[in-house]
Amino acid sequence: MNPKFVLYFAWYYGFYVIKRGPSYLLASLSLPLSLLFMVTIFTHGTLIAFAIAGGPIAIVAANSINGAADAAFFRIQIRIQDLYVATSLTSQDYMFALSMSYLVFSLPGIVLYAILGAYFKVFTLSSALPIIGILILLTLAISNLSFIIAGLLKHIRNVWGITAILSIIMTVLPPTFYPFYYLPRGVIYVLSVSPVTPAAVLFQGILFPKAVGMYSSVQLPMFVIFIVETLVLIFLGRRFIRWRE
């Protein structure tokens, strides 16, 4: 691992993208904030806490899956990946740096939701550490999924349509903005094919233990699924990154 490269790349491609193009940041926040507004209106505010809790997950997942476009563009169009292959950097350095850049890019949105969560007493200091851990693992899982998608593409013309569709599927269908126990248990396990679902279930178990109550038995299987999916996606991401020396 080359931590210096990872930090520089994550900072440059995360922070400076916000600085150079703040419209990209606003675009990444538009869907989560729109869903927060809709959930609040249609439920008369009864599910606002769940919608706020799901905001950081939706932001991280959407930004990470959109990374497929970046990975494909870097490899196919401008071939910057070929330059890194010729250096002492490894595929793990490059993949981890790109993944962390999406987490850095997501920080303003996470901070915004943290402020909303503090105001509505959704987030607490005691829940901060496990929440941060889940968001980091989710970033790694979805980013590696984006590397898999980018590695399968031979041309970038379709990548933006694919990522847009996957972004909606991963933020709307899973129980991100609503309680997971509204769904039959079988449906939850079907939706857990996306790492967003176990991440959302774990989030709700941490933040709303009383509301989850009798459904808490789902937490351990979701934790196992989340860890296994993350490890599998990291392994497959390395296989499909097309790192050729």
Spatial CA neighbour of 95 closest among 78, 79, 81, 107: 81
Taking the CA of residue 85 as centre, how many other CA atoms within 13 Å lie in the half-sphere pointing to its CB? 11
Token readout for 179 is 């309680």
Q: Spell out the residues 6+ positions from residue 155 whose beta carbon is closer than 8 angstroms to its own.
A: 76
The answer to whether 142 and 62 are in contact (CB under 8 A) is no
Spatial CA neighbour of 108 closest among 230, 226, 192, 24: 24
Helices 48-65, 22-42: axis angle to 10 degrees equals: 150
Q: How far apart are CA 118 and CA 112, in angstroms?
A: 10
Sketch the domain layout of the chain as residue ranges. Answer: 3-240
121-137, pLDDT tens digit by residue?
A: 999 888 899 999 999 99
78-90, pLDDT tens digit by residue?
A: 788 778 888 888 8
In this predicted structure, what is the pLDDT of residue 244? 66
